[in-house]
Chain A
Amino acid sequence: MTTNATPKIAAPVRRRGIEAARARQAVLLLLPTLIAIALVAGYPLYRTIFFSMFEANLTNPDQRTFLGFGNFWFTTSDGIALGFLQDPKWWGAVKNTMLFTVVSVFLETVFGMIIAMVVNSAFKGRAFLRTAMLVPWAIPTVVSAQMWAYMYNDSFGLIGRGLLGGQALLANTDSAIWALIAVDVWKTTSFMALLILAGLQSLPTDMYEAADMDGATKWTQFWRMTLPLLRPALLVALVFRSLDALRVFDIMSVMLGNVNAASTSMTGYARQALIDNQLLGMGSAVSIAVFVIIMVIVVIYVTAFRVKFD
């Protein structure tokens, strides 16, 4: 009895030892990543939150005065509004970014779905189209912005002069935002199509054969079978694309210049305060507002659609 008992007790102890060692090894393996993330994400985020409460200059951050939430909302005794939340230009940037996000993500999803369905069906030239699909996606955003800025140009452009007969689309903020949406839709529809196509190809084909047998039209099949089954893939793609669109800056900066980017993109507004005007405190406060807006939207998405990432 006694001789038998010893290994029975020893075995779990040794296993716990191995597990503890494995856990230690895992922490060591994770360490470089965690340190890097703390350095380039954690610490700068903390600094941004910290400076959002101060009035400070970018070139000399050590000289600062505490303002509390004064960067967000402050009215002097003379009735002058200094907080950025009181600045109509900020709300213009928010409105334009929201419009940009909603319209471009919606169009990308619809176009992406159409392209993915076409590529997923059998026809001659399918391989070519699938390759062509990758081209806009592979083009850097700055390059596609310049390409389209050239096409929109009122004296040379294929669209600006050819289609519209010499209208300067980008000169007017109201029409410019639609021109920018068109650029984003062109550039990222392929990404959507790629993700949707991957989803489509994982759907079982026998299900469609059964539906054909039962006499369901293609239209019914799409709404009743394809779309519900694609939902998880579609939602994750939607979240990622929305996040990207909400933080958009390069398209605005390249096509409208940094000054006008500040009235069309939230990031542009924050960057103008922070870098061009050197207002570290104010710029940080705006950055935090952008961050909060985006995080709230993520939380709404994730809870409303119960998106699972893993």
Chain B
Amino acid sequence: MVLKRTNPTLYYLQRTGFYLLVIVITLYLLVPFFWAVLTSFRKSGDLFLPPAQFIGAASTFGNYIDVFANPNFQKGLLFSLIVAVGSVVISLIFGSFAAYALGRFKFRFKSGVLYVILAVSVFPQIAVLGGLYTLISNLNLYNSPLGLILSYLIFTIPFTVWVLTSFVRDIPGELEEAALVDGASPLQTLFQVLFPVMMPALVTTGLLAFINAWNEYLFALTFTSTNRTVPVVIANYSGATQFDQPWGQIMAASIVVTVPLIILVLVFQRNIVSGLTAGAVKG
């Protein structure tokens, strides 16, 4: 502000530079996505047009109609939903039990358990891929959404436990003590006293775990053959011939699976940032 009086030229130069930076950042963040949205509304014949004409070309919903008529994609959406919801629900239930124990109870090996959970959350998935494959085929769960739900627990459970534990620790102890004095059992305390307080944390954690499960690719590619989830369907989307990549449809399918996520993320913006920082930044 001082600069505005002493040296207005420099001040306005700085301001202009700053806003240029803002514009560059915004373009960088949004243009690839914008381009995908645009492509999803263009006819395949128009994809050859130079950018300026491409932007102005006629719009069509054809790609979306084709994508939703594609049985693989329909099934993919259904399986993705089943798998992501299934693994998130299991993780939230198991995770809140574990988080309650880790955040509120004193017992031996507590830090040991925390370290094991942290270690599992940084496991490279490939380290268990072979073992999980034999396990899943022994249980006859190959190509079944149940097999994927089971395998996704390897990253959803450690994540939910870790984030929920840090939330449980921040809940004031008086609430729980009052319940204990009234003779409530630990499960009653958890469900009737802590759950209502933890609701925002559960929503955030569940949402982040859902995003991870919805986006997972390696396990989905490996443990299923026909019952694909959407990331695998999109990765292998093929056109009429092998050499003809239907980019318009691929982009339409991409937008369909991405837009719900973007809406969820924008709605729960604040919670997500706090969830991420609770999970990662505990400097």
Contact = CB atoms under 8 A, between A and B. Distances in A.
B28 A186 contact: yes
B51 A134 contact: no
B128 A40 contact: yes
B5 interface: no
A239 B70 CA distance: 41
B97 to A, nearest CB: 4
Contact of A158 (B35, B95, B261, B282): B35
A44 B125 CA distance: 11
Interface string B12-35: 000000110110011011101101
A130 B186 CA distance: 41
Contacts, number: 288
A271 B107 contact: no
Overall SS of chain A's interface: helix
A309 B282 contact: yes
Contacts of B154: 37, 40-41
Nearest to A34: B113
A142 interface: yes
A32 to B, nearest CB: 4
A118 interface: yes
A247 B217 CA distance: 12
A153 interface: yes
A310 interface: yes
Contact of A40 (B151, B221, B257, B264): B151
Given A33-B161, A47-B131, A139-B262, A146 B250 contact: yes
Interface in B86-115: 90, 93-95, 97-98, 100-102, 105-108, 110, 113-114
Interface of B: 18-19, 21-22, 25-26, 28-30, 32-33, 35-36, 39, 47-48, 50-51, 90, 93-95, 97-98, 100-102, 105-108, 110, 113-114, 116-118, 120, 122-135, 150-151, 153-154, 157-158, 161, 186, 190, 211, 214-215, 217-218, 221-222, 231-232, 234-235, 237, 245, 247, 250-251, 254, 257-258, 261-262, 264-266, 269, 272-273, 276-277, 280-283
